[in-house]
Structure 1
Amino acid sequence: MSFAAVICASHAIAGEPGDMSSGSSGTLRAGLHFAGYSLVEYQVRQAAQAGASRVFILVGTVTQPLSRAIDRLTADGIAVALVRDMVSLVREAPRDKDMLLVADGAIIAQQHYAAIAAQPANVLLVADDSRATAALERIDGQHRWAGLLLVSPDLLFGTLDMLGDWDMELTLVRAAVQAGAHRIVVPQDEILEGRVALVDSQAAADLVAQAQLGRDGRGTSRDGAVDHYLLRPIALRIAPMLLRTQVPALQLRIGGMALAAIGMIAAMLDWPIFGMLLMLTSILASLTADRLGEMARRGPDDGWLALAPYALVLLGIVVVGNAAAPSLAGLPLAMLLGIVTLAVRWRRTGDIAPWALFTPATAVLFLILATLFAGVQPGISAATLCAIASVGMMVLMRRA
């Protein structure tokens, strides 16, 4: 059954006044900076990635930063709406879908969103009661609520129909507990490592970002050979630092394109090694931009802008090969590398191991070493054979 989501976004951060009528986004937990966005925008993207067909943000007041966040989310194809009271939520919420509730200020690893979404309602994400979970809401003598709750329409609307002034977040949690909701227990290591946290200050959000963003997503890869074993670990270290300083992935991609273009010019001027080093750095910039997109919960970028740095690197390889032997010797290699690049980025490599994928980064490093020890022309010939072998392995090892 599909589900919608409601994200609570009206609590003040630690040490700030609790009056939400001022319209100052700086007093809200939802306005804290995280992963290049406000925290509430990051939570919306997490819920959408987990499968939420529509997301509601429960706010006390509508601010300009929140309105701009709604515009960005809508532009990315996420159905999101603001609700300011229970009456609006009752009117807007779908009657035939489960509802995922996300706690105000909760930063939770994506794997837990997926685990909750895979369960039938009603289900709670909880943690054992301990000193490490003291900031979480206690639900009984054994567990504390870890910030996620999936409820059925009956339980949701039965709770929303209650009269009086009450906290929807905590009342709904208690109603789920009383209804005997299933519990998914978060390991204590997840709490200690910041994979599940409730933040109420910018300093706390920064600490969680440092602990969580550098690790999140290490198990996935769209790279091959040198990209996977050399450049990707560097990108994993660089990306969290750039994200915390609000560096956009788009600027990084444009910088990668500029580096590749300069490298191609250097190769034309008979500086092949320097040019290829710039091309390798260009690919590193592109991989780092991919990582920034992953951490910011954006979908994979396979558009022309993401492929442009690789296209310029391939042109650079043609230039390097042509400088060594004016007969477009590098063109067949560039065409084969283009096929491998598209297969990697479109996830059509099957179960082939990263070391067997002869990508542009691998070819560039291979040509640098060949130029130093044997010359460009032998390197082009050997690299072409390696690229043929890589394409052949992708074809022959692909499952029927």
Structure 2
Amino acid sequence: MSFAAILSASRAPADSSGGLRACLHFAGQTLVEYQARQAVRAGADRIFVMVSVITPALSQAVDRLSADGIAVALVRDMVSMVRDAPRDADVLLIADGAIVSQAHVDHLGSAMGDTLLVADDSRASAPLERIDAGQRWAGLARISPALLFGTLDMIGDWDLALTLVRSAVQKGARRITVPEADLLEGRAAMVESQQQADLVAQAITSAGADRAYDRGGLEHYVLAPLARSIGGALMRLQVPAFQVRIGAMALAAIALVPIELSWVLPGFCLMLVAILLCDSADRLDELALRPPPRGWTAFVAPALTLIGIALAGESAVAFDLAMLVMLLTLAVRWRRLGGAMPWMVFTPATLLVLLIIGGALGFMQEAYRLGMLAAIASAGALILRRPA
């Protein structure tokens, strides 16, 4: 069942850097954007952000979320919340500055009724809000409509999130305890400064670093592990994924120059680096919980690479091979693999390595013919393994 999510963006950061804690930089975006994407990934269909003042950074964050198809609204008073909040579905409540791993968000997203994510009282949980003598609130809760609107009826000058949590405690809400290891390793934290946000982002994203890429061929087995390392480093440097993707396009275009000058192998090596940059940009999008691009921006670098391969081959076989591999690239990006295993998919990077090896050994034309056979076999695997 779908649900809504209520976030908060009203507190200032502890480092006196100005602005809002919710607008601290986190995993390539603002912290409140990351919270919203976590909620959407867990199943939320609407996002409400409680704000005290609407800042330019907050408005830009809302625009970026809306551009990705996420329904988000800024709420400045309780009257608006009473009017807009869903009356037939639970809400996922996320505290101002709270970051927990996606597994905990998914768990509460699938829970039913009033549920609190809590941590046992200890030195590691000291920054969290105390709810009784033995436990503290870890910044995440699922609230039923009855509890939400029963609390909203008490309109006054108070903190909505903390009041809802205290009401849930009084009504005996179910509790899910966060392991202390998650607190110590930063997978559940209350972010209060930019320095702390950077540390928590590194812990949160490294926890999901072993997630499988939806790739095939050399991209899956070789480039994906490299992209994970490069993506993590670029995220810590706050480099946007779009800039990395533009760099990949530019490098693939530059690689056409040495190919036109008959320096084929250096051109192929540059194109291989361009594909690695594309995968690194995809990794940055994954770390930021953004959906991978499926439009033209995702295909410019591979298309330029295949154009270079066709130009270097100077034959009908090379042109046909480039066209066939481009179709396979579309199938991979649009997830139409028909159940084929990664090693069955013939990708641009796989073709480049084959041609580089063939060119270095003096068998370039034979490498093109072998690539054509491999591409035909890969297309056959995708077709024949597709469910009836």
TM-score range, shorter chain: over 0.9
Q: What are the equivalent positions in structure 2 for 1:11-26 lying under 5 Å apart?
A: 11-16=11-16, 26=18
Decide which of 374, 378, 381 is 2:366's aligned counterpart. Answer: 378
Residue 76 of structure 1: how far off its partner (Å) = 2.4
Tell me which residue corresponds to 1:332: 320
Q: Mean Cα displacement is larger for which, 305-314 or 256-265?
A: 256-265
Decide which of 258, 264, 270 is 2:256's aligned counterpart. Answer: 264
1:133 aligned to 2:125?
yes
Q: Is the 8 Å Cα contact of residues 317 and 372 (structure 2) preserved in structure 1?
A: no
Q: What are the equivalent positions in structure 2 for 1:153-302 lying under 5 Å apart?
A: 153-162=145-154, 164-216=156-208, 218-302=210-294
Q: Distance in 2 between matches of 1:191 and 1:351?
A: 39
Tell me which residue corresponds to 1:50: 42
Q: Is the 8 Å Cα contact of residues 123 and 183 (structure 1) preserved in structure 2?
A: yes
Tell me which residue corresponds to 1:388: 376
Tell me which residue corresponds to 1:353: 341
Q: Distance in 1 between matches of 2:335 and 2:32?
A: 31
Q: Is the 8 Å Cα contact of residues 15 and 192 (structure 2) preserved in structure 1?
A: no
Decide which of 116, 126, 138 is 1:124's aligned counterpart. Answer: 116
1:216-266: per-residue Cα shift (whole Å, max 9, x none)?
Answer: 253131211211222111211112332333322222222212211222232
Tell me which residue corresponds to 1:7: 7
Q: Which residue type is aligned with residue 399 of structure 1?
A: P
Runs of 4+ in 1 over 3 A off after TM superposition: 140-143
Distance 1:296 1:162, change over 3 A: same
Residue 142 of structure 1: how far off its partner (Å) = 4.3
Q: Percent identity?
A: 55
Q: Mean Cα displacement is larger for which, 125-134 or 288-297?
A: 125-134
Q: Which residue type is aligned with residue 122 of structure 1?
A: D
Q: Is the 8 Å Cα contact of residues 309 and 322 (structure 2) preserved in structure 1?
A: yes
Distance 1:32 1:344, change over 3 A: same
Secondary structure, in 3 states, of the residue corresponding to 2:124?
Answer: helix
Q: Mean Cα displacement is larger for which, 232-241 or 246-255?
A: 246-255
Q: Which residue type is aligned with residue 11 of structure 1?
A: R
TM-score (norm 2): 0.93
Q: Distance in 2 between matches of 1:369 and 1:143?
A: 61
Q: Mean Cα displacement is larger for which, 220-229 or 303-312?
A: 220-229
Q: Distance in 1 between matches of 2:110 and 2:331?
A: 30
Q: Distance in 1 between matches of 2:297 and 2:333?
A: 13
Tell me which residue corresponds to 1:94: 86
Distance 1:80 1:304, change over 3 A: same
Q: Is the 8 Å Cα contact of residues 259 and 308 (structure 2) preserved in structure 1?
A: yes
Q: Distance in 2 between matches of 1:398 and 1:177?
A: 51
Question: What count of residue pairs does the alignment treat as equivalent?
Answer: 388
Q: Which residue type is aligned with residue 18 of structure 2?
A: G
Q: Is the 8 Å Cα contact of residues 126 and 185 (structure 1) preserved in structure 2?
A: yes
Secondary structure, in 3 states, of the residue corresponding to 2:18?
Answer: helix
1:89-131: per-residue Cα shift (whole Å, max 9, x none)?
Answer: 2222222221111011011222322221112122222233333
Q: Mean Cα displacement is larger for which, 277-286 or 62-71?
A: 62-71
Q: Is the 8 Å Cα contact of residues 217 and 294 (structure 1) preserved in structure 2?
A: no
1:177-198: per-residue Cα shift (whole Å, max 9, x none)?
Answer: 2223223333333323222211
Q: Is the 8 Å Cα contact of residues 214 and 237 (structure 1) preserved in structure 2?
A: no
Distance 1:347 1:184, change over 3 A: farther
Q: Is the 8 Å Cα contact of residues 34 and 244 (structure 1) preserved in structure 2?
A: no
Q: Mean Cα displacement is larger for which, 288-297 or 187-196?
A: 187-196
Residue 302 of structure 1: how far off its partner (Å) = 0.5
Q: Is the 8 Å Cα contact of residues 214 and 236 (structure 1) preserved in structure 2?
A: no
Q: Is the 8 Å Cα contact of residues 15 and 194 (structure 2) preserved in structure 1?
A: no
Q: Is the 8 Å Cα contact of residues 78 and 155 (structure 2) preserved in structure 1?
A: no
Q: Which residue type is aligned with residue 120 of structure 2?
A: D
Q: Distance in 2 between matches of 1:85 and 1:250?
A: 36
Unaligned runs of 5+ in 1: 17-24
1:59 aligned to 2:51?
yes
1:318 aligned to 2:310?
yes
Q: Which residue type is aligned with residue 373 of structure 1?
A: L
Decide which of 339, 352, 371 is 1:364's aligned counterpart. Answer: 352
Q: Distance in 2 between matches of 1:284 and 1:199?
A: 32
Q: Mean Cα displacement is larger for which, 346-355 or 280-289?
A: 346-355
Q: Distance in 2 between matches of 1:351 and 1:144?
A: 45
Residue 275 of structure 1: how far off its partner (Å) = 0.6
1:120-179: per-residue Cα shift (whole Å, max 9, x none)?
Answer: 122222233333222222333443322111111110010111254332212211212222
Q: Which residue type is aligned with residue 209 of structure 1?
A: A
Secondary structure, in 3 states, of the residue corresponding to 1:166?
Answer: coil
Q: Which residue type is aligned with residue 339 of structure 1?
A: L
Residue 328 of structure 1: how far off its partner (Å) = 2.2
Residue 306 of structure 1: how far off its partner (Å) = 0.8
Q: Is the 8 Å Cα contact of residues 58 and 83 (structure 1) preserved in structure 2?
A: yes
Q: Distance in 2 between matches of 1:249 and 1:318?
A: 29
Q: Which residue type is aligned with residue 13 of structure 2?
A: I
1:398 aligned to 2:386?
yes
